[in-house]
Amino acid sequence: MTGKNAIIFIDTESGLEGPWREYLDFGEGISQISKVLHRYKVTAVFNTCGKLLELHPRLFVELEKQGHEIALHGWKHENLRMLDDQWLEKVLARSHQAYSQTLGHSPYGFRAPWLDYDQRLLEWLNRKGYLWVSHRHLFFRERFFSPAARPEIRAGQRMAGLWASWQERNFPKVPYQIKQGLKELPLTSSMDGELLGLVSPLQPSPARDVDYAVNAWHQQLLRAPNFFTLNLHDWLISSGNRPDVLNKMISLLLSQNYKITTARQIT
């Protein structure tokens, strides 16, 4: 990996996870996102639940054709760490199969739902030849100061901010090998929901929240100067006025001379 690289991860789980799920049109959301990506001619990584690959195969074939990478994100957004061995095997095998059937090749990467994972998952993925995971995460300090954060989170912001700054000193900010042949691509910034809050997809975010999120990511980018991962959710970033948040972030990354790449290109 040379120069400044950025990856846009979009955890794709509408209808299975996320608030107000029944109101969202999945295909319409993905088309809002790909419109913005297309405007800048950049690609993203869609971490997708296996069930959605089964339900919308053509949509994912089309995304891949456009140069985007499709990775896996569980079957129906299970908490994998809490599954027993039998269920874990069942869920992983089923999502892997749905992926291979839809796209005609094996998946390269995986992000565990809720970023909750254990050694069993890593070993399974390694055995099956996956090249990357993206799980390592931190509650970066900006999360505690977000105007959209719950009052009890904001109430502890001073101490939590110090704690987060301390944690960040030992946080890996570049990709590293987690097992032979398997790389970890850490989340070097807050997730969208941590900054924008869990707003209703039927409503726009207040301008104040949008500005806060973009500024917070900018600060985090300055603290992770060579490798930046933007971590979004399809149901949040595709609705209301939030495609414009994606628009602003791509524009910022390009103005700072980041190369926006897929995960596979880095591994």
Q: Can you give the C-alpha Rg of the chain in angstroms? A: 18
Least Cβ distance, residue 92 to Zn ion (angstroms): 15
Least Cβ distance, residue 39 to Zn ion (angstroms): 25
Alpha-carbon span 265 to 140, nearest angstrom? 26
Do residues 141 and 117 touch, judged by C-beta distance below 8 A?
Answer: no
Least Cβ distance, residue 132 to Zn ion (angstroms): 17
Residue number, 11 or 142, with CB nearest to Zn ion:
11
Please name the residue that has the structure tokens 């502890």: 156
Least Cβ distance, residue 110 to Zn ion (angstroms): 12
Residue number, 13 or 194, with CB nearest to Zn ion:
13
**Residue nearest Zn ion, Cβ-based:** 11
Contact residues toward Zn ion (CB under 5 A) are: 11, 13, 113
Residue number, 17 or 142, with CB nearest to Zn ion:
17
Do residues 151 and 129 touch, judged by C-beta distance below 8 A?
Answer: no
Query: Across the strands, what pairs with 17?
Result: 14
Least Cβ distance, residue 2 to Zn ion (angstroms): 31
Residue number, 113 or 175, with CB nearest to Zn ion:
113
Q: What angle do CA 95, 176, 93 make, to 5 degrees?
A: 15
Alpha-carbon span 38 to 57, nearest angstrom? 20
Residue number, 62 or 116, with CB nearest to Zn ion:
116
